Amino acid sequence: MASVPLRDGGNAGFGTDAPEALTSAALVAGFFNTMAVLVSLTLVGGLAVWGYRLAVRDVAGVPVIRALDGPARVAPADPGGELARHGGLSVTAVAAGGTARATPDQVTLAPRPIELDPGDAPMAALAPLPPVALVALAAEPQAAPAPVPRADLAALVPEDMVAPGEEPDAVILALAEAMAYSAALTPVAHAGPLAASTAIGATARADLIPASVPGVVRSPRPVLRPARIMQASATPPLDLAPEALVPGMRLVQLGAFDSAELARAEWNRVAARFETLIAGKQRVIQSAESGGRVFYRLRVAGFEGADDARRFCTALEAEQTNCIPAQVF
């Protein structure tokens, strides 16, 4: 194997560089190293300062108020206004100055108390009113006037009520006799309203026409009937048979029950709770079968139409009571 001769005497690749190139590279590397150290130290110092300030921020941020010298509040030398006579110890002159007060120059009497009218007194202090004395009617009744003859009655009839040459009929004669009878009566002296009303009632009940006059014999005044007394309408029966239901009739169903007794008990409960709404309505208990099971429907009849039934159900549902409008088919 042949050997390769070396021209540098065995020192190839290990030669030294020039001194100028080595010095400039070292200066650049040292500069960058120094800058890196300075930046690192700056960052570390900044982090340390930031952490310290963060730790003491709550303590350093509390403001400290310095106390003022002297009193916190000072009363003014001249507060103004008027001095109260009871201020300090001047409630009485003896307690304030030790001596009695001088006699005033002018003395004014206090005003007299206001007197109330008798009507302004309390209800308990008012005197009771004197009772009203009713004037009694005369004990002796007046004597009835004598019957007026028929000829005299004909003379009292106005001429415009009877045709010439004809005699007045029984009605006209009765009116003439009533006029003569009223004129013959004398009023009761010193009679109050009670006596006057009694006299009017007695006159109305008296027989104004004697039986001898043909025609109307008795003409009593009708008695007024109080408006509050009305003839009670016949109350419909409570239970309405299912056979009496007609197609198109409006009903309201309150529920379905296992027996008729339970349905009646539910009706009693609803009727006691809604007495005003149930008034005038009829109870319908209708049996039905579904799936081999017999049950009883509780329904209400007596509605004028569908709107009336819906209003009834709305009132019951507002009080948490089951109610379903229904119609007979």
pLDDT at residue 127 in the model: 65
Q: Is the pLDDT of residue 35 over 90?
A: yes
Q: Is the pLDDT of residue 72 over 60?
A: yes
pTM greater than 0.85: no
Question: Which of 41-50, 64-73, 232-241 has the weakest average pLDDT?
Answer: 232-241
Question: Residues 133, 139, 142, 143: what is their CA dihedral angle, to the nearest 10 degrees?
Answer: 170
Strands (E), 95-196: none
Task: Give me the CATH topology for the region 242-327.
Answer: Alpha-Beta Plaits (3.30.70)
37: confidence class by pLDDT, cuts 50, 70, 90 = very high
pLDDT at residue 122 in the model: 73
The string of DSSP codes covering 203-263 is: HHHS--S-TTSSS----PPPPPPPTT--PPPPPPPSB--GGG--TT-EEEEEEEESSHHHH
Query: Which of the two residues, 78 and 104, has the higher pLDDT score?
Result: 78
pLDDT digit string, tens, across residues 178-230? 666 555 554 444 444 444 444 444 444 444 556 666 665 555 666 666 555 55
DSSP 58: H
Average pLDDT, the chain: 72
**Degrees (nearest 5) of the Cα angle 236, 240, 242?**
160
- 296: β partners: 257, 287
Q: Would you kindly state where each structural domain of the chain is located, as residue ranges?
A: 150-184+194-205, 242-327
Question: Which of 22-36, 206-220, 236-250, 302-316 has the weakest average pLDDT?
Answer: 206-220
pLDDT digit string, tens, across residues 254-307? 989 999 999 999 999 999 999 888 888 999 999 988 888 899 999 999 998 899
Query: Which of the two residues, 206 and 45, has the higher pLDDT score?
Result: 45
- 297: β partners: 256, 286
pLDDT at residue 215 in the model: 60
Q: Is the pLDDT of residue 81 over 90?
A: no
Question: Which of 95-99, 132-136, 316-320 has the weakest average pLDDT?
Answer: 132-136
Q: Which CA distances in Å does 122 have to 112, 125, 128? A: 21, 5, 13
pLDDT at residue 145 in the model: 55
pLDDT at residue 190 in the model: 44
Residue 140: which of 186, 95, 181 has the closest Cα? 186
Q: Is residue 326 within 8 Å of residue 253, measured between CB atoms? A: yes
Query: Which of the two residues, 310 and 218, has the higher pLDDT score?
Result: 310
Residue 306: which of 241, 246, 243, 252 has the closest Cα? 252
Say which residues have a Cβ less than 8 Å from residue 73's Cβ, sequence separation at least 6.
none
Q: Is the pLDDT of residue 38 over 90?
A: yes
Q: Is the pLDDT of residue 1 over 50?
A: no
Residue 174: which of 223, 221, 144, 218 has the closest Cα? 218
Own/partner pairs for 102-111, CB < 8 Å, 24+ apart? none
Q: Which CA distances in Å does 125 have to 20, 27, 116, 292, 312? A: 136, 126, 13, 81, 55
DSSP 77: S
Name the burial class of residue 176, with classes exposed (0-12), middle (13-18) and buried (19+) by CB atoms within 10 angstroms of its CB. buried
Strands (E), the chain: 250-257, 282-290, 293-301, 324-327
pLDDT at residue 168 in the model: 56
Q: Which CA distances in Å does 224 have to 73, 202, 220, 228, 229? A: 90, 15, 12, 12, 11
